[in-house]
Structure 1
Amino acid sequence: MAKTPDSTSKESFVEETRQPADLEKDASAGGAYIVGEDTDADTRGLKTTKNGKIVLIPQPSSDPDDPLNWSWMKKHTVLLALLLPSLLTDWGMTWGTTLFELQAVTWKMSVPAAARSVSGGIFLQGPGGVLAVPFVQRFGRLPVLFWSQALALIMIIAATFSPSYASFTAFRALQGFFGTAPQVIGLTMIHDMFFFHQHAVKINIWAFCFVIGPYVGPFISSWLLIKLGWEADMGVLAGFYGFSTCLVVILGKETLYDRENNRVPTAGASRISLLTGVAGVKATGMPKMMDVFKHLFELLICPQLLLPCLFVCIQFMWAIGIVTTITQFIKPPPYSLNDTDASLFYLAPIVGSIVGELWGHWFNDWLCNRYIRTHNGNYEPENRLWGAYPGAALALCSLVLYGQTLQHTLPVVGLAAAWAIMAFAQVSSTTAISAYALDCFPHHAALASSWINFWRTTGGFCVTYFQTQWVAKSGAAVTFGVQGAIVGAFTFFVIATQIWGKKWRVNHAPPAAEN
């Protein structure tokens, strides 16, 4: 991406006075990048794409084992092994949101009480993602991805055969704790394999997978419930995780590469040792886990990361609140949707997410190209944040529409439209914030991603405990109207980051890279 002669071609930006080793460091700091058709990259020894129009950032090594040098097919095969686990993370947790009515009968509880079985798992996704980061940096990406799927599979099987609400909830909580790693590893693996000009598109695909997951899971689960009991329904979820684990075993590759010394830390290791992490244990030159923990908390207090994370927290809080309570609104009177209609209702956010992915696929690249063309080749990471505003505005509107529809018993299509708009908003905002975080912290992608995931899931955990009670006390119009107003208020955190982000990146520079 860069200053271009037209809107379709892309050229990366290179600061004319910098050496190749400095390019990525400069990209994270912002500043002037001069490129164009007159840039003679070859004479400066810089590597470009085959057509010569894009200077590659970061510059790949001459090592064929460097993930940046992998073929298109190999890169996207490895990406595929990441995408299904990312899809299943929230898919697996919200799968249970369709089971509450049946579980309430089994355990002789009220439906709202049974619904709290998902809260622990949603909450532990946050700490689970943060605690996964030191393992990712110390032992590699592949073993953490593998163990997240294998352990989540074991927890789902245990939950399926649990004899009580307490044990079921405990195993579901552990499922959330172990299963969240793909939503943390994603940014790092994208950074490992792809160049700067490819990041936004790949992030959009990855973000689409974990944002659409909370809707696809319940959609499938609700159809199965028409014929199956809730225990068998959970068994099908275990089957999905079994398939995901096999996919990681067959297609997954270790993307960790020591770019400073141009070597693969786990070179020569067997497949089993790579998957289990034994190769990572034996690898030399890896960071200490305590150092990674220290860096994690150093990043947490960086305002250029913290404020956008708080915006994500609020937007996802209300979105997850809709997911976890939707059946409690559409199945009883006045809507009285049957099981089939309730199942079809999940198509609304699925369609919204797909439209959001298509929008982001184009819009984020357009933003960068436009900025560079109109700023004489200059680029600043804060430009990414323009992509968050459409999502913020639409999230606000969707919550108001949702509340008014419920309050005045308007046609159920109003609820579907509101939910679809909210799903679109989630995809577009998540892509913008994640791309900005990767631009600011390219060597700490997993650390930054873990905090985005932490705040996102923390909000989702909280809302289950008060959503239905709030509606019962204040009415749907007031409840969701206030939620929309809060989204609007927290959008000022994004505005502040755009205004002062460049200064913050200088005053709150990230720690030294671990790998």
Structure 2
Amino acid sequence: MPEPLYRHPTRSEILELAAQEGHDADIPSNVGTIHDIAHRHHSTSSEIEKEKSLKTHKRPSPDLLKDLEKGELHAGSISSLSDDAVPENEELDPNIVWWEGPEDPENPMNWAFRKKWGTVILVSAITFLTPLASSMFAPGVPEVMETFHSTNDMLEGFMVSVYVLGFAFGPLIIAPLSEMYGRLPLYHSCNVAFVVFTIAAAVASNMSMFIVFRFFMGCFGGAPLVLGGGTIADLISREQRATAMVVWMMGPTIGPCVGPIIGGFLTEAKGWRWNFWFVAIVAGSFCLMSFYCMNETSASTILARKTKRLRKETGNDKLRSKLDSDLSTTDLFKFSIVRPAKMFFRSPICFAMCTYVAITYSYLYILFTTFTEVFTSQYHWKGGVIGLSFLGLGIGSLIGQTVFTHYGNKLAQKHMLAGTFVPEHRLHIMAYGGPFLPIGLFWYGWSVQAGVHYMVPMIGTGFIGFGLLMTFMPASTYLVDVFTVHAASAMAASTVSRSFCAALIPLSSQQMYAAMGYGWGNSLLGFVGLAMVPLPLLFIKYGAKVRGWTTVKL
């Protein structure tokens, strides 16, 4: 086997890929692990030569890892390594298995255009469908309550929000399993399980069965949210990836708002159970397409299989993949579950941002679980028209995503080019967009209370949708920039906390509106949102100091 040439990845490439693949950078991405570049930078040229001659692989020192956890630009840490400070090419150890040159057909980056973008479109479609299913049957909730002979207001909200509770648990298991077995087996198994539990929800005979099946729909429906970003990073070059990521991200941001619009008319025409039959049919079609069209895209899995094949062909048991992580199954699960908890409770920045996002995200599901009742009782809407009450929220979310994608990234790139970028620059657009959320809640609540024309509260919900996206998106990118190597753990902490809040807080929304009315009820939510508005301003001013005196030991 000829020795291929290998260009060492830069630190920024490793961090970016790890974040998109949804794991920390000390677990190998498609271009390696942060440990490799850390060790190279801390070695002298003579040590590098010695390392090459001894064919060894070392881990960085604990002191370096402390720097990595803080994500700071300390002298002597890998953060100070420039992209051109690494040799362009270096001969690999002959026992290291890598791609056979830049045109290797096994490398997913070299797949045909139709095959690559076909996979991206299919993954984006699945990612759109599963969040859509979270709220699609919301307009049919009164029919569900009637079918199961229930008058419990708490269950009325929980049957909608329990889906996102599954989003909290599923990714914690799916992420480490994908590192061990690759992305494709997880796509196939989760797609099949999602279809099975969707059908089960469609034929449920009592409320308990229905809620349990909805929970498992959320657990398995979270797979494309965990795996999709990594799949796109596997296939699409860095220069073309932004477009694909925007298309993929539209699923979790727009899907939950579009679902009820479809569900309202479908419930009127065929009954609430057909919301689930519709999702099952579409998801089943995607599942069959994925079996036929999709191939494994994870470089670490492909190279592991190649290594196994070459060992058998050559009899050389010393062969190992360049992307071999040397991590046990226990370690992977530990990183997936324990690290986010440590990040949430030990980092003031992570705790504050996760709390802000969790509160605002729970407002989204308060609206999902109450819109039907509000527009039925206040505006006497009936049938499929009920689904249109979610339109303002969807349009506002779409505008918010567009504004953030353009202006948020433009501001960050301006400072990057000037060499003055710090993570807190991500929060400026959050400081401008955050007030739209409480403004929208006040607008929506009091216009509904006054019974003015329905377009007035719908405009208010548009402000809410805009404020939600302008809070959620900057907070996510800020966590990635602050925690760099361990960005995935910070994001997992955010996902779990916001999913728990979105599942549990809406349970009391009906009682709140009954006791306080729509005006003061939404004002209460608005005042809490207003209290959170100064948070990005505080971090813009003091964030660097907070990062300087806190260290999260993972």
Instruction: Please classify the TM superposition score into its range, dividing by the shorter chain length.
Output: 0.7 to 0.9
Structure 1: how far apart are the matches of 2:108 and 2:239?
16
1:133 aligns to what? 175
- Judged with a 3 Å threshold, the aligned counterparts in structure 2 of structure 1 residues 79 and 488 are, in CA distance, closer, same or farther, namely farther
Structure 1: how far apart are the matches of 2:118 and 2:307?
21
Between 442-451 and 144-153, report the one with greater CA deviation: 442-451
RMSD across aligned positions (CA): 3.5
1:167 aligns to what? 209
Identity of aligned residues (%): 20
1:397 to partner: Cα distance? 1.2
- Judged with a 3 Å threshold, the aligned counterparts in structure 2 of structure 1 residues 298 and 227 are, in CA distance, closer, same or farther, namely closer
- Judged with a 3 Å threshold, the aligned counterparts in structure 2 of structure 1 residues 500 and 358 are, in CA distance, closer, same or farther, namely closer
The amino acid across from 2:477 in the alignment is A
Between 63-72 and 139-148, report the one with greater CA deviation: 63-72
Structure 1: how far apart are the matches of 2:397 and 2:179?
31
1:321/1:467 contact within 8 Å kept: yes
Structure 2: how far apart are the matches of 1:208 and 1:510?
35
1:298/1:510 contact within 8 Å kept: no
- Judged with a 3 Å threshold, the aligned counterparts in structure 2 of structure 1 residues 218 and 504 are, in CA distance, closer, same or farther, namely same
2:396/2:462 contact within 8 Å kept: yes
Is 1:350 matched up with 2:391?
Answer: no
1:92-241 counterparts in 2 under 5 A?
Answer: 92-110=133-151, 112=153, 113-193=155-235, 203-241=245-283
Structure 2: how far apart are the matches of 1:350 and 1:462?
23
User: What are the superposed Cα offsets for residues 102-159 of structure 1, whole Å, 9 maximum, x if unpaired?
Assistant: 1222222227344432333332221222222221222222322332221111001111
Structure 2: how far apart are the matches of 1:200 and 1:74?
18
1:128/1:178 contact within 8 Å kept: yes
2:191/2:283 contact within 8 Å kept: yes
- Judged with a 3 Å threshold, the aligned counterparts in structure 2 of structure 1 residues 495 and 300 are, in CA distance, closer, same or farther, namely farther
- Judged with a 3 Å threshold, the aligned counterparts in structure 2 of structure 1 residues 174 and 246 are, in CA distance, closer, same or farther, namely same
- Judged with a 3 Å threshold, the aligned counterparts in structure 2 of structure 1 residues 320 and 202 are, in CA distance, closer, same or farther, namely farther
1:43 to partner: Cα distance? 11
* Residue 320 (structure 1) aligned to one of 345, 359, 365: 365
- Indicate the SS of the match to 2:304: coil
1:184/1:449 contact within 8 Å kept: no
Q: TM-score, normalised by structure 1?
A: 0.77
Structure 2: how far apart are the matches of 1:24 and 1:442?
11
* Residue 301 (structure 1) aligned to one of 342, 348, 359: 342
Structure 1: how far apart are the matches of 2:463 and 2:516?
24
- Indicate the SS of the match to 1:466: helix
1:95 to partner: Cα distance? 1.7
Structure 1: how far apart are the matches of 2:273 and 2:152?
17
The amino acid across from 2:543 in the alignment is W
Is 1:504 matched up with 2:544?
Answer: no
Between 171-180 and 491-500, report the one with greater CA deviation: 491-500
Structure 1: how far apart are the matches of 2:233 and 2:374?
42
1:336 to partner: Cα distance? 0.3
1:9-24 counterparts in 2 under 5 A?
Answer: 21-24=10-13
Structure 1: how far apart are the matches of 2:330 and 2:461?
42
2:64 aligns to what? none
2:304 aligns to what? 265
Structure 2: how far apart are the matches of 1:77 and 1:360?
27
Structure 2: how far apart are the matches of 1:365 and 1:104?
45
| Aligned length, in residue pairs | 456
1:36 aligns to what? none
Which structure has the larger Rg? 2
- Indicate the SS of the match to 1:82: helix
1:403/1:479 contact within 8 Å kept: yes
1:87 aligns to what? 128
1:102/1:230 contact within 8 Å kept: yes
1:436-515 counterparts in 2 under 5 A?
Answer: 436-440=478-482, 446-498=488-540, 499-500=542-543, 504=547, 507-508=550-551
The amino acid across from 2:180 in the alignment is R
Structure 1: how far apart are the matches of 2:483 and 2:248?
18
Structure 1: how far apart are the matches of 2:236 and 2:423?
18
Structure 2: how far apart are the matches of 1:509 and 1:199?
31
The amino acid across from 1:451 in the alignment is A
Structure 1: how far apart are the matches of 2:290 and 2:12?
32
User: What are the superposed Cα offsets for residues 303-347 of structure 1, whole Å, 9 maximum, x if unpaired?
Assistant: 243332221101111111101210010012x31012243233332
1:207/1:427 contact within 8 Å kept: no
Between 235-244 and 195-204, report the one with greater CA deviation: 195-204
- Judged with a 3 Å threshold, the aligned counterparts in structure 2 of structure 1 residues 228 and 313 are, in CA distance, closer, same or farther, namely same
- Judged with a 3 Å threshold, the aligned counterparts in structure 2 of structure 1 residues 158 and 119 are, in CA distance, closer, same or farther, namely same
Structure 1: how far apart are the matches of 2:526 and 2:236?
36
1:395/1:421 contact within 8 Å kept: yes
1:289 aligns to what? 329
1:115/1:324 contact within 8 Å kept: yes
Structure 2: how far apart are the matches of 1:350 and 1:134?
33
1:210 to partner: Cα distance? 0.5
Is 1:389 matched up with 2:438?
Answer: no
1:287 to partner: Cα distance? 2.9
Structure 1: how far apart are the matches of 2:281 and 2:263?
13
Structure 2: how far apart are the matches of 1:245 and 1:309?
33
1:336 aligns to what? 380
- Judged with a 3 Å threshold, the aligned counterparts in structure 2 of structure 1 residues 22 and 212 are, in CA distance, closer, same or farther, namely closer
**Runs of at least 5 residues in structure 2 that lack an aligned partner in the other structure:** 1-7, 17-67, 75-81, 90-100, 310-322
- Judged with a 3 Å threshold, the aligned counterparts in structure 2 of structure 1 residues 459 and 269 are, in CA distance, closer, same or farther, namely farther
- Judged with a 3 Å threshold, the aligned counterparts in structure 2 of structure 1 residues 442 and 315 are, in CA distance, closer, same or farther, namely same
1:420 to partner: Cα distance? 1.9
1:24 to partner: Cα distance? 4.2
